[in-house]
Amino acid sequence: MRLVIIYVSIAILVNIVFNTLKPANKSVRRGFTHLIVITSYPTTKTLAYAQHIIDEYIILISTQKENENLKIKLAKCELYSDLLKQKLGNPTKKGSSLKLMEVPYSFKSNFETDSIYLRIIRKIDLKKQYCTVLSKKLSLIGIVEKRTGKYIYRAKTVFNPAFVADVYILSNKKKYRALFIGNPYLPKAEFLDPNVEIHEGDKVYTSGNFGVYPPNLLLGTVSSIKNINGYYKIAYINIDRGFFNNWKVFILCKRKL
C-alpha cells in the first residue's frame, strides 16, 4: 500500500513538472522518464501479487461453497440411512437382502395415479424379489409388478384397487391390524374389530407379515372411521400425495423367502 501511495505521489509530481518545463529540456524529461520506469516496476510487482492473492481467495470461496453443497448432500444421505435403519433394521449389515436405489418415474399420459412407470437401468428379477416403491419421505407408494420395456417397469400404487397390504393402525401406543385396500379416491383399511378405539389422525403402517412389504413403512393417516352394522370398522386413509411433485422415487428390493 505504501508503494502505491509513493507511486501516485511521484506520478502527480511528474505531471506537474512536465506541464511546467519547456519541451526543449529533453534531458530533464528523459531523467523523469527513467524515474517513472524505476518506480513503476516495484509497483507493478505489488499489484500483480495483490491480483494473485485475490485470485486465490476467489478459488478458496468457490471450493468452500462446493464443499458446503457436498456436505448437504452427505447429510441427506445420512438422514435416509438413519431413517431406513429405524424402519427396517440395518439394511447394510452383512447378509441383508435389502437393496435401495433411486430411480426416475412418470405417470400414464392421462395422469392416472393407479400405476407409475419406472426407469431402472439395472435389471431386477421380479420372480425372486419384491421391489417396493417409496417416496423421499420413505412412505409406501406401491410395488413393482411388471417389466414393460428394456429399462421400464410398471408399479401399481397404493391408489390402485388391486393394491392390498397387511397393515396396522397405531393408536395410543396400541396396534390394530387391518387389511389395506387401494383406491384412487378413498383408500381404506378394512375388517377392523368393531370394538377397537381408533381416532382420526392415527398413523397407518405396514405390518411386515407375509414378507411382501418391509415392516413399519408409513402408508398414511386415518381421515374418517365407519362402523359397518357392528360387524367391523373401516378406516379411510389420507395418503400424502406430495411425491407427485417429485420426479424420482426409491426402490427397495427384498429377496423372496
Say if residue 78 is in the same domain as residue 177: no
Say if residue 134 is in the same domain as residue 178: yes
Reported residue count of the chain is 257
Say if residue 175 is in the same domain as residue 228: yes
- pLDDT tens across 76-99, in order? 666 566 556 555 555 444 444 566
Question: What distances in angstroms separate CA 212 from CA 67, 138, 152, 234, one per listed residue?
Answer: 40, 16, 21, 23
Say if residue 121 is in the same domain as residue 243: yes
Q: What is the mean pLDDT of residues 103-128?
A: 88
Among 162, 215, 155, 213, residue whose Cα is nearest residue 187: 162
pLDDT score, position 59:
80
DSSP state of 55: H
Q: In sequence order, what are the residues at sequence separation of 6 or more whose Cβ sits closer than 8 angstroms to the Cβ of residue 114?
A: 156, 157, 159, 160, 161, 182, 184
Say if residue 104 is in the same domain as residue 80: no
Amino acid at 51: Q
Of 35, 64, 95, which residue is a domain's last? 95
pLDDT score, position 91:
46
Mean pLDDT (the chain, rounded): 81
Q: What is the domain count for the chain?
A: 2
Structural domain boundaries enclosing 204: 97-257
The burial of 16, by beta-carbon neighbours within 10 Å (0-12 exposed, 13-18 middle, 19 or more buried), is given as exposed
Q: Is 34 helix (H, G, I), strand (E, B) or coil?
A: helix
Please state which of the ranges 95-109, 113-127, 233-247 shows the lowest mean pLDDT.
Answer: 95-109
pLDDT score, position 95:
44
pLDDT score, position 108:
78
The burial of 76, by beta-carbon neighbours within 10 Å (0-12 exposed, 13-18 middle, 19 or more buried), is given as exposed
DSSP state of 22: -
Whether residue 101 is predicted with pLDDT greater than 70 in this model: the reply is yes
Say if residue 63 is in the same domain as residue 117: no
Q: What percent of the chain clears pLDDT 70, i.e. is strictly above it?
A: 69
Say if residue 62 is in the same domain as residue 147: no
pLDDT score, position 94:
47
Say if residue 164 is in the same domain as residue 235: yes
Of 95, 112, 138, which residue is a domain's last? 95
Q: What is the mean pLDDT of residues 222-251?
A: 93
Say if residue 202 is in the same domain as residue 240: yes
Cell numbers that stand for 72 in this block = 448437504
Reported pTM: 0.64
Of 65, 95, 125, which residue is a domain's last? 95
Q: What is the mean pLDDT of residues 159-170?
A: 96
- pLDDT tens across 129-138, in order? 999 999 988 8
Whether residue 198 is predicted with pLDDT greater than 80 in this model: the reply is yes
Say if residue 106 is in the same domain as residue 40: no
Cell numbers that stand for 149 in this block = 420395456
pLDDT score, position 196:
92
CATH number of the domain encompassing residue 242: 2.40.10.350
What is the torsion angle, in degrees rounded to the nearest 10, for the CA atoms of residue 220, residue 221, residue 224 and residue 226?
70
Q: What is the mean pLDDT of residues 136-165?
A: 94
- pLDDT tens across 170-186, in order? 999 999 999 999 999 99
Say if residue 81 is in the same domain as residue 156: no
Among 142, 215, 214, residue whose Cα is nearest residue 184: 142
Say if residue 114 is in the same domain as residue 236: yes
